[in-house]
Structure 1
């Protein structure tokens, strides 16, 4: 009678357990080589004696160690059984670390996520079925490492009471995907891959996604200020379809890459309530550019004040700009103050504020007025 095939879910657990190396602690040979793997499954207690094809009675070895165990009797069953516990302890020690910062965690997570993405795109999406079948095991192994790393560092992720605004919730979805990926193997792999939350790649800087702008300009200003203190930012591009922050190392973080930016805000303690909305400010700056004009920020730490043709323009976002709000703003003489909150035309600026602006020597504009003013410039 032929030996029954090891169940698929047990095979996948074994691959994940191995960490991609022979489980003999004195060998630890890399099991993935160019073009495939050299993984072999060995029964700890011979199948002919027990008919035991369980996870507990199986271990992953390289071909040489498998031969030494089965045919050369170089190791006892008790010794080999101990290798499973040794590998578990080793795994816990290496990937069970609690990091102090998200950036430290990112250094450990980034290469694993990137390798998974590369394997999926190169082999599955390119119809390389034979290679996909082999290197899918590498994803299983990487996923086991990722799961341990993430579970031990939940505290480093931005969270929110609403799951739609929570990076921690994205991590939880990803962990569910890892468990499901290990437990099953469907013919239609792509339908399963839909469960993979692409936001996880955004969060760790693998690949940006196009989300919505986080509303607060003030939060962005604080982030830029703190990054500048670390000499990390060299350029800020706003007033276009894909605004971004450019780092000294060449990395760009797009301002609509929501999970990535949300994580940075959390890491640097930048979350502030929105007084000026980023989407509205970006739209106004885009309009200036569309009319063939340039603008410059007076200070990257204050994106609400710009110069256009040597004229200072200050952007606010008020339901109705009041005299008191204008006093608190204290605009310089000859400045232009634009209310981005264009809810009801002229009524967005109170009569008191308009009268007081003449005393201050400044000009107040609704968005409709702003369009005409910029066009004339």
Structure 2
């Protein structure tokens, strides 16, 4: 009785083929809409060796398989050489290290999009027979994506805390790819490592609604970096889904500021991670309130989101546990401006008595968040 081929060996020969017949003069596509046409061939006949090793197996199209096995069109040495040729091609193709994330993205995104289209059009539509016939294309694309990502992990943002790391998302994706291959021949195909949707965010395919990254300073740095590259258009704040608009392929693209994996990657690519002085969510909330009262705000400097003009009043945002006299002096505010402490931990105690006294001398107005609501309503009227 013939022994079955080990699943790991089978996975290796599928990946080795890259979805094409291993005959260099053929290279026929092995995944057709009508079905998977790849065939496993023994280089030295199984009946002579009982050898199901990776070295003795090769993936061929039906025509080349017939020509090899029955027509003796190719010698054993020729077919062995095909494996070497494909291995060299595989190495050249996948060992490339890209210079930046955008170049990596240009390679990975078309494959992710093709997989997504196949999944949505066949699997989600319960077209099981058609899905089985095109699942091989997903496997082939995945094998390419896996090797490309493994060679370019240095381009992916990483963090010691897994929750904050795009590299951890990529690792989960690679685990999903491995499990997808391992269960291909299983009747039930029970899979635990599901496709991480954060991958679509990371590669700019579909935004993910996640929490805001805290640092306003990082956003300001990113704006400056995008301006220097001629890519920045505008930033829209005071919305449930604030975003930066950038120039992209002769058009515009929105980068939502709660699309966390993508924004993390942009910070990483542009060296824009900065410590948090003002928390973005608190700033955006205050700007939302201004808009909700029918008022407009304008930034005096787009690279400084901490200062806005509202009805000819300059409002300066700070985020201090308790705004002190020294911190107020360091701000050096202009007369008649308003300073709002977004850190609303304990009402008026968010601002020290000494700071209130100094503000009176400097002719500036200090507000807690509780006072801010009434103040905005007063200038609206």
TM bin (shorter chain): over 0.9
The answer to whether the 8 Å contact 1:12/1:140 transfers is no
Q: Is the 8 A contact 2:183 2:191 kept in 1?
A: no
Partner residue, 1:163:
162
Give deviations 1:128-172, integer Å, cap 9, x for gaps. Answer: 111211222112111211121111112112111111111112222
What is the Cα deviation at residue 328 of structure 1? 1.4
Corresponding residue of 2:357: 355
Q: Within 1, Cα distance between the matches of 2:107 and 2:304? A: 34
The question of whether the paired residues in 2 share the 8 Å contact of 1:317 and 1:341 is answered with yes
SS in 1 for 2:241: coil
Q: Following the alignment from structure 1 to structure 2, what is the Cα–Cα distance between the partners of residues 187 and 62?
A: 24
1:46 is displaced (CA, Å) by: 2.5
Alignment check: 8 A CA contact 2:211 2:260 kept: yes
Unaligned runs of 5+ in 1: none
Between the two proteins, the alignment pairs up a number of residues equal to 375
Distance change >3 Å, CA 28–CA 224, structure 1 → 2: same
Equivalent-residue separation in structure 2 for 1:264 and 1:368 (angstroms): 35
Instruction: Name the SS of the counterpart of 2:191 in structure 1.
Output: helix
Matched residue, 1:57: 56
The one of 332, 335, 341 aligned to 1:333: 335
Match of 1:259 in 2: 261
* In 2, Cα distance between equivalents of 1:350 and 1:109: 54
Q: What residue is the counterpart of 2:35 in the other structure?
A: 36
CA displacement, residues 35-73 of structure 1 (integer Å, 9 cap, x when unaligned): 434323322222343344444332222233223222321
Q: Which residue of 2 aligns with 1:79?
A: 78
TM-score by length of 2: 0.92
Alpha-carbon offset, residue 263 of structure 1: 0.9
- Which runs of 5 or more structure 2 residues have no equivalent in the other structure? none
d(CA) in 1 for partners of 2:309, 2:111: 45
1:128-277 alignment runs, 5 A limit? 128-185=127-184, 186-189=186-189, 192=191, 194-249=193-248, 250-277=252-279
Q: State the partner residue of 1:375.
A: 377
Question: What's the offset of the Cα at 1:267?
Answer: 1.0
Preserved contact between residue 202 and residue 208 of structure 1 (Cα < 8 Å) = yes
1:97 maps to 96
SS at match of 2:308: strand
- TM-score, structure 1 length as denominator? 0.93
RMSD of aligned alpha carbons: 2.0
Deviates more, 1:68-77 or 1:224-233: 68-77
Deviation at 1:346, TM superposition (A): 0.5
Which whole-Å CA distance do the structure 1 matches of 2:333 and 2:84 have between them? 69
